[in-house]
Amino acid sequence: MSTPSDVLIKLEGVTKVFYTDEVETHALAGIHLEIKNGEYLAIAGPSGCGKSTLLSILGLLDTPTDGVYMLNGRSVANLTAAERARTRNREIGFIFQSFNLIGDLTVFENVELPLTYRGMKPAERRKRAEEALERVGMAHRARHLPSQLSGGQQQRVAVARAVGGNPSILLADEPTGNLDSKNGEAVMQLLQELHRGGATIGMVTHDPRYARHADRSIHLFDGRIVEENVAEAI
C-alpha cells in the first residue's frame, strides 16, 4: 500500500461531460487513479475512449465535471486561472504529438522560453536549457531552427523543453504519433532513460508496443478504466 508521500497524483471519481446542442457526451466516467513519484504510466485504449481528455485534466488544461484531483497532496479544484498556469509551468512538462515548437525561435530559445515565464534569471535559464539539450543529445543543434531538423530531432527538442524546468511529471500525448518507427523507438528509448534518471511519466499511446515500456498501463474504454497491467520485473 502506498504512503501519501509516494503519491504524486490522485484522482477520485473523476468524470468529464461535454454538453453540445442538448447532447451530453460522457468522456470520462468515475476514474480512480494514482500515479506515484518516479512511476512510468501508460494510458492506452482505442480512439475516442477518453485518453486525451484524461491527459488534459492531468495537465490542468481542462477541469473535471465532478470528482477530486490531488496534485502533490493539494486539491487543484479551487486554483485560480493564474495559479493553474503557474502550476502547469512549474510542475508539468508536456510532450505533444505535433512537437509544438515555435518556428522562428532557435532550438535553444524554444527550450529556454518556458523558463523565461518563471522569471528565472538569464544565467540560470541558459544553464537549464543547455543541460536539457545535452540530456536529449541535441546540444549540437542549439542554434538551428526547427525547420532545419528532422521529425525525430524536433521531438527530442520538445522533450528537452519539457524537462528543462525539472517538472514533477512529464505528460506525453502520443509522442511517437508523427514519427516513423525508427525515430519513434528512439524517442521511447529517450523517455526510458529519463525515467531511469528519476522522471515521473504519464504517456498516452494507442500502440501496445510502446505501452510495454511503462511500469504500469491502464486501458480505457468508453471513458472508464477497464484493465490495468503491471510490467513484470526483469
**4 domain-assigned:** no
Unique residue bearing C-alpha cell 502550476? 87
CATH number of the domain to which 201 belongs: 3.40.50.300
Per-residue pLDDT of the chain (234 residues; tens, 9 = 90+): 445 569 999 999 999 999 888 889 999 999 999 999 999 999 999 888 999 999 999 999 999 999 999 999 999 998 999 999 999 999 999 999 999 999 999 999 999 999 998 888 999 999 999 999 999 999 999 999 999 999 999 999 999 999 999 999 999 999 999 999 999 999 999 999 999 999 999 999 988 888 888 999 999 999 999 999 997 654
Does residue 11 lie in a domain region?
Answer: no
Specify if 206 maps to a domain.
Answer: yes
Q: How far apart are CA 34 and CA 8, in angstroms?
A: 8
Identify the CA nearest to 42 among candidates 223, 208, 233, 222.
208
Which residues lie across from 10 on neighbouring strands?
34, 70
Q: Is residue 160 part of a domain?
A: yes
Are 178 and 151 spatial neighbours (Cβ–Cβ below 8 Å)?
Answer: yes
Residue 17, in any domain of the structure: no
Q: Report if residue 5 sits inside a domain.
A: no
| Domain membership flag for residue 204 | yes
- Which residue segment(s) compose the domain that 205 sits in? 38-61+81-230
**Rounded CA separation 54/171 (Å):** 11
Q: How far apart are CA 144 and CA 200, in angstroms?
A: 29
Find out whether 62 and 88 touch, Cβ atoms under 8 Å: no
Look at the chain and report how many structural domains it folds into: 1
